[in-house]
Amino acid sequence: MYEKIDKDYVLNTYARNYVNFKQGINATLYDEKGKDYIDFTSGIGVSSVGHGNARLANAICEQAKNLIYTSNLFLIEPQAKLAKKLAFLSGFDMATFFANSGAEANEGAIKIARKYGERNFNNKKYKIITLENSFHGRTITTVKATGQKSFHKSEFSPYPDGFSYDHNIKNIYKSIDDETIAVMIELVQGEGGVQPFDKKEIQDLAKFLKEKGLLLIVDEVQTGVYRSGEFLAANLYDIEPDIITLAKGLAGGVPIGAVMTKHKDIFEPGDHGSTFGGNFLSTRAGLEVLDILESYKNSGLLDESFLYFEEKLSEICKNYPNFFTEHVGLGLMRGFRCKDAETLTKIVKACFNEGLLVLKAGKNTLRMLPPLTISKDEINEGFKRMTSALDWMS
C-alpha cells in the first residue's frame, strides 16, 4: 500500500528499496513483518549512536516538551553550548554557524572563503579547488564543487563559476592562481570510494596554504564526529584547517549541519542565516550525541569496535579473493574494493536478501558505515550474513 502512495506522491529522486522499517535497536532494524536487518549503513553515516537510543530519545522528548523552535533572533541556549562543545572536542578555537545539512554547511564554508578572499587581498580571490571524485552536496553550488562530472548535468546548468578539480593532492600546487582563495577536501572520500589520503601529503598541503595565506576547508560531513576514530579526521591527520564542515552523525538523525571556522569575525549580521538551523531540538540532540560518543570513546569501547571490525574485514577479504581485491578506509568508515561494478551491485542485493544493509560508493566499492555504538554481537551477525550472501553467489 505505502509503496504505491510513495510512487504516486513523492518525487522520484531515489532508487528506493521498498522495505518498510518500523523499529530499530542499536544496529538492528525491523520491518513491518518483523524481519530483522543488521545495519552496516546507519542511514549513510547518520545514526551515529544507533537506532532507538534511549538517551537521545529522552533528550529530544524533554526538549520538545519545552521548546522546539523560536528563531535565531534570540539566544538559543543549547546552540551556544553545542558550539562550545565542538570547539572543545576539536581542540580548535573556532566559532560555529549551524545549518540543517552537509550541503548547507558547505555553502556556508564557500561564503566564508569568498568573503575572506574579498576582504584580505588587493585583488578579488574567489576560486576554490576541489578534488576529482569528491562529493560536497546537491545544491547548485555544492554540486559544482563536487568533482564528479556525472553530477554536472546539463539540465541543471548554468552552474556558478569559481571551481576547479585536480586528480590528486600533488596537482593542486600547480592549479593555484592569483584568484584562488581555498582548497576544499575530504580527508577520506566517502562517495568517491572510501579513499583516505596520505597523511604527509595532507600535512604538506596544509603548511603550504598557510604560508600563502590561503584557506584549507575540510569537509567532515561524513568523517566527523568520531567516524574516523578521532573526533575529527583533521585531528587524526594532525592539521588545523581554517574551516570545517559537519553534519550526518552530529545529532544522531535529527537534521543538522555545522560550519566551524577559526576566522571568528568573518561574518556580520545579515551575511548569512537559516530559519531552522541551530534550533532548540537539533542542538539539544547534538549535545546528547556528543556526550554519548565522548564517553564511548574515552572508555575504549569505540577503539575496540574499530579493531574488531577491521579483523572481520581482513577475514572476509582473505576468504573471498574472487570478489574483493582489498579493504579500505579507517575507523568505522570502511569498504571493500570489488572486482567490478556489476559484482558490487549483486553483492549489495544478496546482502539485503540475507538481512544485511550495505552501501555502494564510487564505481566499485562496497561501503560500510555502521552505528558507532554497534555491538560485537551485531558485528558478528552482520559478517555472518555477508558470508552467507557471498557463499550463495559463489
pLDDT tens figures, 216-269: 999 999 999 999 999 999 999 999 999 999 999 999 999 999 999 999 999 999
Bridge partners, residue 252, by sequence: 254
As given in the structure block, the three cell numbers for residue 133 are 571524485
Measured in residues, the chain has a length of: 394
Q: How confident is the model at residue 394 (pLDDT cuts 50, 70, 90)?
A: confident
Helix (H, G, I), strand (E, B) or coil at 241: coil
**Model confidence at 5: pLDDT above 90:** yes
pLDDT at 189: 93
Q: pLDDT tens across 37-61, in order?
A: 999 999 999 999 999 999 999 999 9
DSSP string, 185-210: E-SEETTTTSEEPPHHHHHHHHHHHH
The yes-or-no verdict on residue 134 having pLDDT over 90 is yes
pLDDT at 365: 95
CA–CA–CA angle 116, 118, 123 (5° rounding) = 125
Q: What is the mean pLDDT of the chain?
A: 96
CA pair distance 366, 305, nearest whole angstrom: 19
Q: What is the set of domains in the chain, with CATH numbers?
A: 55-298 (3.40.640.10)
Residue-wise pLDDT tens digits, 338-371: 999 999 999 999 999 999 999 999 889 999 999 9
Q: What is the pTM of this model?
A: 0.96
CA–CA dist 295, 55 (Å, integer): 13
What one-character-per-residue DSSP string does 317-329 give?
A: HHH-TTTEEEEEE
**Inter-residue contact 179 to 348 (CB < 8 Å):** no
Residue 149 or 220, more confident: 220
C-beta of residue 262 within 8 angstroms of C-beta of residue 240: yes
Please tell me whether residue 151 adopts helix, strand or coil conformation. Answer: helix
